[in-house]
Structure 1
């Protein structure tokens, strides 16, 4: 596996793990304190990344395979 394949968009992550895209969207919103703290820790560990241009309404996430494994276990075999 190439290094680039260890990182993906939320849409690709949902597809690879067989999850609804909405599941990933909810996970990344960090609506509860616990979820927000977890997201911050994962950002600091370099497992996920969020980028938003100044004055933009939305940003973009990049998720590592390690983050997905932490949340949902090993990637299902296809």
Structure 2
């Protein structure tokens, strides 16, 4: 097996253990615990996406400013 497979298996083992622990601590079903983890990950990705959009808008404004300066010269 390749190292990637070992890493993937280790990651899945850790994720499964974390879900089992969450289930025991919170009293959630395994399915609900997994959905909660997915929801949290999506929230993080949404924040990252919003930050990326803000950065894109800033870069667009910078580009327009540079183009205007270049055209005026």
User: TM over 0.5, yes or no?
Assistant: no
Task: Considering fraction of residues, name the structure with more helix.
Answer: 2
Give TM-score scaled by structure 2 length.
Answer: 0.28
Structure whose residues are more often strand by fraction: 1
